[in-house]
Amino acid sequence: MTDLTLTMKYRPDQRVDMSPITCDKLAGLDLAEIAAIELQNGKRKLRVDELFSISGSDVGKIHINNSFSKLDYIGCGLDGGSILVTGDVGAYLAMDMRAGEITVSGNVGIYAACQMKNGFLQVLGDVSDFLGSALPGNKKGIQGGTVLIKGNAGDRVGDHMRRGMILIEGGTGDYCGARMTAGTIAVMGETGRNIGYGMRRGTLLLWQQPKIPVTFGDCGTHTFSFLPMLFKTMAKFDSKFSDSSQHFNRVHRYGGDIAGIGRGEILVRVGSA
Amino acid sequence: MIINGVLVDHTFAEAFSMKATRVVITAHTEQWAFNAAKSMTGFATSVIGCGCEADIERYLKPSETPDGRPGVSAMLFTMGAKSLVKQLETRAGQSVLTSPTSALFSGIDGGIRIPLGKNLRYFGDGFQTSKVINDNRYWRIPVMDGEFLVEETTGQVNAIGGGNLLILAESEVDALEACEKAVLEMRKVPNVILPFPGGVVRSGSKVGSKYPALTASTNDAFCPTLKGITKSELSPEIESVMEIVIDGLTETDIKKAMKVGMETFCSIGAYNGVKRISAGNYGGKLGPYHFHLQEIMND
């Protein structure tokens, strides 16, 4: 049984809601039924086979080829299985994902891993704003699982993050870790302004010295024994995060945001510029 | 059964069901991990007077510990689940939390989860934070030397306590030296502890006493100074008897430790004063586990 492969035939002008295409939702459907699924496209609906040529039958492993930046909600609510996307994707990638694995070869739009519950999301390119955040008005962003970004991320990474781990090999925009409640965001590259704004708890683990907001207190340099344990969990990834030369247990700690409850922390690798 | 002149009695050690847990203590150096573990497992020879039986199981290399530092594994045994929770929490709080550079982790993955750092975290007075790593929650409690890292729970499993060996020797020195050698070998067996000082107990007891307030008293049948005035188990040449008590996670673990111990006694031999190996029991009426010495040696 080969993987279910959806190859885009053309690029529609309007955005496409891909949320019906997940491993769990397609379980038990034959190819004809999958072909007949209707996807919201702007104000009209498109059959899957209008938009994609379909091959393979294993719905536990879905490939989406020739993807582009108007395919939204890929892997939304995914509850097991894997989705491999070749190309770029739109907004709300892996939103509310519960289990399984998603890999995207290109760049990703806003609100990726938004309110994600568990599972593994890997993006080989860049992601836009609100990675791992809560939808506007909601109080819980990503609540579990791991997100690995090989490129850069936009503003507001982990806004209202509740649990889980976001790993970014590149840098981030402004307000990284804003309003975080818990969890870990690790960033190897540069971070923007107002890092940890309104942060309640959680950890921002940085390889480069950020501009520390005035509402964070300098707690000095320390050695933490939980850091090697955290890095050990990253060893399984095909990533710079698995490179032991990038690992450390000695950090400069800044506590905050003391404009709020101030139990969050920014940990900066000692010796970073 | 006689091996190298040592008589192995046709008898059995009688043991009881217990609850047990294992923890891993790490620190900046092995010595400081040991200091914490020694304190945590101190005054824990017998559940009768100490509330639990505990001992260091073995030293751990940095590659064997969760945080990559030198460590020690220790096990605690009690008669019931409630007392295990209480003893663990008290001892972890007073002996490990307090010990410089220490960290405390679960040493048993399965079993019923019982609090380890779950309540200790409140020592942090609101400054404590947690990290979930590989689905396990760890508490980071700020302390004066930095941070005390403690896993939220550890595993409680069913276990067995009270496996034992009695060594009957021609002199006190012969008994002691034989026990020292046996303890050294028995402590290499995983999943067992020997909770008495140095692994050896010289005050074996029987159930009951002439004094109504006491539930146990000296095992006069094995006291060499009473040979002539009580119903003694000892032959004339026996001048000293010592006991090694073994608590373990399974019957197999205890059998392994007992066999290693008996083999050591037998290798020392009667020529060096070790005359007989026996075991303590209550006629088989109290404990559900019976470890027959000769069967173990024949296995």
**Is B67 within 8 Å of A229 when comparing Cβ atoms?**
yes
Confirm whether A82 is domain-assigned.
Answer: no
**Is B67 within 8 Å of A222 when comparing Cβ atoms?**
no
Co-location of B168 and B88 in the same domain: no
The residues facing B2 across adjacent strands are: B7
All residues of chain B having their beta carbon less than 8 Å from the beta carbon of residue A182 are 130
B103 touches chain A (CB under 8 A): yes
**CA–CA min distance B145, chain A (Å):** 10
Looking at B122, B138, B157, the residue that finishes a domain is B157
Q: What is the pLDDT of residue B237?
A: 94
Confirm whether A13 is domain-assigned.
Answer: no
Q: What is the pLDDT of residue A68?
A: 96
Whether B138 contacts A229, CB under 8 Å: yes
Looking at B157, B182, B202, the residue that finishes a domain is B157
A163 → closest Cβ in B127, B132, B146: B132
**CA–CA min distance B91, chain A (Å):** 22
Q: What is the pLDDT of residue B299?
A: 84
pTM of the model: 0.92
> Tens digit of pLDDT for each residue in A219-255?
999 999 999 999 999 999 999 999 999 999 999 999 9
> Tens digit of pLDDT for each residue in B149-163?
999 999 999 999 999
Looking at B138, B157, B176, the residue that finishes a domain is B157
Going by C-alpha positions, the residue among A159, A178, A168, A95 that lies closest to residue A126 is A168
B147 touches chain A (CB under 8 A): yes
Co-location of B163 and B118 in the same domain: no
Average pLDDT over residues A53-75: 95
All residues of chain B having their beta carbon less than 8 Å from the beta carbon of residue A184 are 131
C-alpha A7/C-alpha B195 separation (Å) is 67
> Tens digit of pLDDT for each residue in A172-227?
999 999 999 999 999 999 999 999 999 999 999 999 999 999 999 999 999 999 99
C-alpha B37/C-alpha B21 separation (Å) is 14
Count the domains in chain A: 1
Burial label for A41, CB within 10 Å (0-12, 13-18, 19+), is middle
Mean pLDDT, 10 residues at a time, chain B of 299 residues: 94 96 97 98 93 96 95 97 97 97 95 96 96 94 96 97 95 97 97 96 91 92 94 95 97 97 96 95 86 94
Co-location of B108 and B191 in the same domain: no
> Tens digit of pLDDT for each residue in A127-150?
999 999 999 999 999 999 999 999
Whether B240 contacts B147, CB under 8 Å: no
**Is A229 within 8 Å of B129 when comparing Cβ atoms?**
no
Confirm whether A165 is domain-assigned.
Answer: yes
Residue with tokens 């020195």: B173
SS (H, E, C) chain B: CEECCEEECCCEEEEEEEEEEEEEEECCCHHHHHHHHHHHCCCCCCHHHHCCEEEEEEEECHHHCCCCCCEEEEEEEECCHHHHHHHHHHHHHHHHCCCCCCEEEECCCCCEEEECCCCHHHHHCCCCEEEEECCEEEEEEEECCEEEEEECEEEEEEEEEEEEEEEEECCHHHHHHHHHHHHHHHCCCCCEECCCHHHCECCCEEECCCCCCCCEEECHHHCHHHCCCCCCCCCCCCCEEEEEEEEECCHHHHHHHHHHHHHHHHHHCHHHCEEEEECCCCCCCCCCEEEEHHHHHHC
Co-location of B172 and B291 in the same domain: yes
A231: enclosing H helix or E strand: helix A226-232
Going by C-alpha positions, the residue among A101, A241, A106, A107 that lies closest to residue A185 is A241
> Tens digit of pLDDT for each residue in A83-128?
999 999 999 999 999 999 999 999 999 999 999 999 999 999 999 9
A230 → closest Cβ in B26, B129, B131: B131
B68 touches chain A (CB under 8 A): yes
Co-location of B128 and B196 in the same domain: no
* CATH code, domain with B101: 3.30.70.520
> Does the model's ipTM exceed the 0.95 cut?
no
Average pLDDT score, chain A:
96
> In sequence order, which residues have a C-beta less than 8 Å from that of residue B252 and are 6 or more positions away?
none
B69 touches chain A (CB under 8 A): yes
Beta A203-206 vs A3-8: how paired, if at all? unpaired
Going by C-alpha positions, the residue among B175, B236, B170, B235 that lies closest to residue B204 is B175
**CA–CA min distance B295, chain A (Å):** 45
Co-location of B254 and B199 in the same domain: yes
Count the domains in chain B: 2
All residues of chain A having their beta carbon less than 8 Å from the beta carbon of residue B146 are 222-224
Q: What is the pLDDT of residue A273?
A: 46
Co-location of B132 and B165 in the same domain: no
Domain of B127 in residue numbering reads as 20-157
Confirm whether A84 is domain-assigned.
Answer: no
Q: What percent of chain A has pLDDT over 70?
A: 99
**Is B140 within 8 Å of A184 when comparing Cβ atoms?**
no
Domain of A115 in residue numbering reads as 107-269
Q: What is the pLDDT of residue A35?
A: 95
Residue with tokens 């302004």: A193
Q: Which residue of B has its CA nearest to A236?
A: B134
Q: What is the pLDDT of residue A272?
A: 54
Burial label for A239, CB within 10 Å (0-12, 13-18, 19+), is middle
